[in-house]
């Protein structure tokens, strides 16, 4: 896609020298029926990352992906002297909603990452992973995919947001949007590594069937988010 090419080009332009930057990071939920839990937006040093696709999720990432808890990942970022913003939307970021955050980055923090859990899912999350912050001032756009942490079976029924416990957390704003009484889509995880999320299955029964997810409303196709980063002069 054009924007990916643009980003790659911009990344090439950015020399390897270190630089502080003033960033505005705008995040839009592009989906029609998925909520994002509070976002962690962090600028961190080269050589560090929040996760790697194809590798196992850290305990910190698992907490975010299964329960929306970004505190462990934020603490990890702090330990790297990262510059972070947490929860810019002040709660859930609903379908098509936009939030933005200002971020002043230290010289060493040249990589930008962003994560949030997707609701309703078991361990789905949206992410920007270690994007090289351009030294050239300008407006940069990226479209983000949905990932599966690989840490929990996608049973698609109400349950727990605690790491390692089955089921989906259903915080109050989603109470009426998530079904009940599903028997569970699956009890197994077929890929325990972080991978591209296969998407919600859902069903057409709000009070039964095998899923508590609505198949006509709470499915998505990638991309699920648009990020617009403004690098100030």
Q: Where on the chain is the footprint of other proteins (CB under 8 A)? A: 1-2, 28, 30-33, 95-98, 199, 201-204, 215-224, 226
Q: How far is the CB of 68 from other proteins (least distance, A)?
A: 21
Q: Do you know the residue count of the chain? A: 233
Residue from 60, 203, 31, 51 nearest 118 by CA: 31
**Residue 56 CB contacts under 8 Å (≥ 6 apart), including other chains:** 150, 192, 193, 194
Q: Which is nearer to other proteins, 6 or 160 (CB)?
A: 6
Can you state the percent helix, strand and coil of the chain, rounding each to 5? Answer: 15, 30, 55
Please report how close the Cβ of residue 38 comes to other proteins at its closest, in angstroms.
Answer: 19
Query: 31 or 84: whose CB is closer to other proteins?
Result: 31
Query: Least separation, in Å, of the C-beta of 32 and other proteins?
Result: 4
- Given the complex with other proteins, which of 31 and 58 has the nearer CB atom? 31
**Kind and range of the H or E run holding 43:** strand 40-44
The residue among 29 and 62 lying less far from other proteins, judged by its C-beta, is 29
Q: How far is the CB of 168 from other proteins (least distance, A)?
A: 17
Q: What is the DSSP letter of 132?
A: E
42 vs 15, 66, 210, CA distance in Å?
20, 20, 37
């Amino acid at each position: 896609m054009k924007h990916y090419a643009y980003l790659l080009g911009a990344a090439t332009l950015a020399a390897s020298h270190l630089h502080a930057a003033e960033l505005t990071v705008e995040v839009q939920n592009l989906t029609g029926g998925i909520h994002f839990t509070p976002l962690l937006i962090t600028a961190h040093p080269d050589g560090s990352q929040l996760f790697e696709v194809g590798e196992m999720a850290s305990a910190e990432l698992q907490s975010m992906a299964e329960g929306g808890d970004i505190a462990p990942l934020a603490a990890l970022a702090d330990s790297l002297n990262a510059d972070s913003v947490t929860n810019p939307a002040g709660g859930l970021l609903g379908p098509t909603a936009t939030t933005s955050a200002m971020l002043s980055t230290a010289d060493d923090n040249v990589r930008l990452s962003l994560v949030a859990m997707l609701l309703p899912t078991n361990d789905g999350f949206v992410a920007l992973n270690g994007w090289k912050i351009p030294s050239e001032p300008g407006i940069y756009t990226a479209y983000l995919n949905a990932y599966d942490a690989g840490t929990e079976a996608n049973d698609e029924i109400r349950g727990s947001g605690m790491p390692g416990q089955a089921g989906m957390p259903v915080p109050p704003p989603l109470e009426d949007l998530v079904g009940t009484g599903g028997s569970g889509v699956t009890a197994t995880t077929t890929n325990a590594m972080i991978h591209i999320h296969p998407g919600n299955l859902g069903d057409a029964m709000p009070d039964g069937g095998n899923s508590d997810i609505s198949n006509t409303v709470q499915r998505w196709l990638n991309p699920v988010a648009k990020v617009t980063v403004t690098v100030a002069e």
